Chains A and B, each alone.
Chain A
Amino acid sequence: MDETIDFLKQKFSEYYKNNELIYPDRFGRREFGFMFFDREGMTRHIGFNTRNEIKSFLVKNAPMHVYYSSAYYEKPDAPTMAQKKWLGADLIFDLDADHIESAKGLAYEEMLNVVKKETLKLLENFILDDFGFDEKHVSVNFSGGRGYHIHVTDPKIFSLDSSARREIVDHVEGIGLDAEKTIFGRSYRAHDIDMGSRSNVKIVKMVDPTAGGWEGRFCRGMIKFAEEMEKISKEEAIKKLSSYIKKKTAKKIAEGIYEDLFGVRAGDRGIDKIKKGNIDIFSRDVHLTTFSDIVLNREKVTITNRSGGKADEPVTSDIKRLIRMNSSLHGKTGLKVMPVKIDELKKFNPLNDAIVFSDELVNVEIVKPVKISMCKKNFNLKKGENTVPEFLGIFLIGRGLGVKK
């Protein structure tokens, strides 16, 4: 094991020595934190005054993980938050395979693709559209591990407190969306508007698919989903719809929704009405709520880790969280944490593009067979000792799949 650790430390140190690093802006005001290969826990509350100091530290200590605070402080190296004196913080979104239900149990490469899709959704629909941030204030970084980080450095967000940032999280995740009022309309008591025998009357309003925020997004999401249903056979559509519904009566509800969307009632079909902004097409309330639920889930982005029945405080609303430094190495993959240009994100493949180590051959002993494509080559490794390129060797060791031989 010692040999493995020495090997990794030596390789990491060489990397830090021989490469240009990207230093966070205002690094003198940030707290740094590190984890090491040969020590437990995190070393925090470290401050640096010059780029050289950071570089020398990395070369000398070859840490496993390198972090800095999204916040900046008057005294970044003070031991307590009160003494540090918070001045402001960047806005960070952390998209990790851990947080995304549909990424569970996938192979590393597929998992990264699922996360990338979510990242693009967050970026295009929320960060650039709803929030209107300028691309020059937005950077997308591959985390070196299982996801992407989006950093927003628009000065307008620096001073937002944690509750304001939580509102941003809730917006992105569609939490607290009052669809009845915001999107569909309002219900009135019968005695308010004298509607005779029915006790509750729902007034459904026409919505504008081009409207900003959730109103338009919701309407567009409904249209998009309905159109997808329209393209496939009725049978498939009902199967797909039912797959979203976690109820005993799933099939019946799915059939009802399908009928509401595509059955002809007084001229227009439901889907045609939705396209005109009229979403009053559902014959039963449960159809409306179920369909809404599905659309909401398709349109929102999950950034809170809710696995295990607990919801972690998301990075976004935590104003003193540490995040990975760009151009540092992720100790569990040997991949580089790196910025990805927004228009290159779609074709970005970390297993080609974030590799820093050479193809010099090394021997590793691995604990189970591994199939992976890295650096445009396919590897099919059997259990036991293998000779592989250095980048793959480090990746396998980091992932706990092997040791140096």
Chain B
Amino acid sequence: MSLSMLARYPFLPSAAGYVKKNGPTLNELMKEVVYGRARTLGKMRVEEALEYAEIKEHDFSTETNQLMELLSYIVARILVSCVNDSFLIRRYALAESKRAYIRLQAENVDFAVNTGNEFGLGAEAEGKNVKIHFTDYLKHSSNIKNIEWKLVNRKIEKGYAILREKELERLIQEALRKRIESELPLPVNDEILKTFKSEIVEIKNTTDARKKAFMPKTLGKISIMNFPPCMRHLLGMMQEGENVSHSGRFALTTFLHAVGMDAEQILSLFSSAPDFDEHKSRYQIEHITGKTSGTEYTPPECRTMKTYGICVNENSLCMREWMTHPLKYYRTKEKEGRLRTGKKLDIGLKKAEGELEKNRKTGWR
């Protein structure tokens, strides 16, 4: 593989092999003046991850640039390992994998198939399509939120899922993201920590600022204490930046909307997710809250939550026989609170419950 390809796909084993054979030692990479550009680019990779959740396209025009680009991947991984923050690791893994996805789309299907096979996908090209064993498909697709990635909506023949080339590339993104997350942090020694001291401090500060910016301001009059455990759990995961499934996001969004939050407020709550994409999230939230779709979706009932595996930490109130819906839980808790404080019923919630009945979908999706 050419150096320019290795620079574009620095996570491939052949890239590591190339560096081992032709590249500098770790010590040289850290100290020598000629690799200054690789170190700068490495720090840039991390900064871009924090800023845009995506590594930007760099200059690959000369061989030197290509080599520096390839080495910068190693530097970036070292820097992320030095800071050793789980938010940063997830965000960085996401950024690298997104860039790989974009680049892969410019390649032909054979390249995608070969790359997929580096991740054990066992893909095979079949005309314009690609087939992979459904268990390998599931290993990576079950984290992707969009409903069309559910196995039930996939063409599957005798154990093999049929994908378009672009879909294979999306799976590779997922596989790469998971691999980077599992590989980092790498062990780092004092020597490395000393060499990159100022870079580490800088990245740490940016990471903290980034995390803080994502923290929700306030929920206003809505009390999280009244949320059922499932919603508290989902919200917590969301704010910790953990991966929340499509059904989880749907449930949480509809719930937050039903208790009176508008799209803006929900958006700010969600913004701490490592893969937060304001444009996409806004679209989804506005769709679910009815701003763009005309339908205000309502949160799933308890049994559906169970089916999706997002009913967690059930408490004694959840266990009551009549407890069938997260909103019922919220209303019950609110009533309890009102009895204590003597406040009036929240109009927004009442309306939401009316909608709940009205909108109960006749479809069977």
- A residues neighboring B (CB under 8 Å): 129-133, 156-157, 159-164, 166-168, 170-171, 174-182, 211-215, 286, 289, 292-293, 296, 304, 306, 309-313, 317
Contact = CB atoms under 8 A, between A and B. Distances in A.
B147 A132 contact: no
Given A162-B309, A286-B362, A310-B302, A175 B139 contact: no
B143 interface: yes
Given A133-B159, A163-B245, A180-B365, A310 B306 contact: yes
Contacts of B365: 176-180
Give chain A's interface secondary structure class: helix
B157 A160 contact: no
Contact of A130 (B135, B142, B156): B156
B147 A157 contact: no
Contact of A163 (B133, B143, B162, B362): B143
Q: How large is the interface on B (under 10, 10 to 19, 20 to 34, 35 or more residues)?
A: 35 or more
Contacts of A129: 158
A170 B151 contact: yes
A54 B325 CA distance: 46
A390 to B, nearest CB: 42
A382 B68 CA distance: 90
B155 A131 contact: no
Given A160-B139, A289-B362, A175 B156 contact: no
Given A286-B362, A310-B302, A311-B306, A181 B142 contact: no
A292 B151 contact: no
Contact of B364 (A156, A182, A212, A293): A293
B191 interface: no
A319 B34 CA distance: 52
Contact of B153 (A177, A211, A296): A177
Contacts of A292: 364
B244 to A, nearest CB: 12
A131 B152 contact: no
A181 B148 CA distance: 8
Interface in B144-181: 147-148, 150-160, 162
A270 B159 CA distance: 33
Contacts of B147: 176, 178
Given A212-B162, A313-B309, A176 B150 contact: yes
A102 B362 CA distance: 23
Nearest to B311: A311
A212 B158 contact: yes
A394 to B, nearest CB: 36
A167 B155 contact: no
Contact of B309 (A168, A215, A317): A317
A174 B307 CA distance: 12
Nearest to A156: B135
Nearest to A317: B309
A163 B142 contact: yes
Contacts of B304: 311
A175 B303 contact: no
Which of A131, A179, A313 has its CB near the most chain B CB atoms (within 10 A)?
A131
Name the residue in B133, B152, B308, B363 with the highest tally of chain A Cβ atoms < 10 Å from its Cβ. Answer: B152
Contacts of A133: 159
Contacts of B308: 166
